[in-house]
Amino acid sequence: MKKTTKILGYFLAVILVLIQFYPTNKPLTYVNNPNGLLENSQVPNHISNLLKSACYDCHSNETKYPWYASIAPLKWLIYSDINEGREELNFSNWNTINKEEKVDILDDISTIILEEEMPLKKYTLFHSEAKLSLEDRENIANWSELALENLYE
């Protein structure tokens, strides 16, 4: 190896070690979510399974972290997606939001799921269990439209 390449390699390795010490707040997880959607609403099993495997890591308090989510700089990107995702929609807080917000979210879900905007592509790249078939997407869209109608009953 050329000397400069070697020095650059050491330099990068040191940086990689050093950034591990940079303090970051890992989004907390909770097992018990008394205000959660699934805890309070009758969601069909096949839909709740899809939501859990394709959405819950970013849109609930029940995030399951893979091992690489503890490593900087990857964890910075992962934590920021989770924080942003939970801010937009947190299924664990479903009972705490008002009817208008629920309407907005359910309406958004049926649109973005058919347009294949969610789950994020960079996520399904590492989570094959989160890949949704067209049928899955249609089922989720139908469920969210029905749940929206039920809010007005």
Residues at the contact surface with ligand HEC, assessed by CB under 6 A: 54-55, 57-59, 81, 84-85, 88-89, 105, 108-109, 112-113, 118-120, 123
Choice between 62 and 81, CB closer to ligand HEC: 81
Closest CB 97 distance from ligand HEC, rounded Å: 13
Choice between 35 and 52, CB closer to ligand HEC: 52
Token couple for 8: 């650059």
Q: How far apart are CA 132 and CA 141, in angstroms?
A: 12
Choice between 11 and 76, CB closer to ligand HEC: 76
- Decide: 144 and 113 in contact? Cβ < 8 Å: yes
Closest CB 32 distance from ligand HEC, rounded Å: 22
- Decide: 71 and 124 in contact? Cβ < 8 Å: no
Token couple for 81: 């997606």
Closest CB 37 distance from ligand HEC, rounded Å: 11
Closest CB 13 distance from ligand HEC, rounded Å: 29
Q: Which amino acid is at 92?
A: S
Who's near 137: CB < 8 A, 6+ residues apart?
113, 114, 116
Choice between 101 and 149, CB closer to ligand HEC: 101
Q: Which amino acid is at 111?
A: T
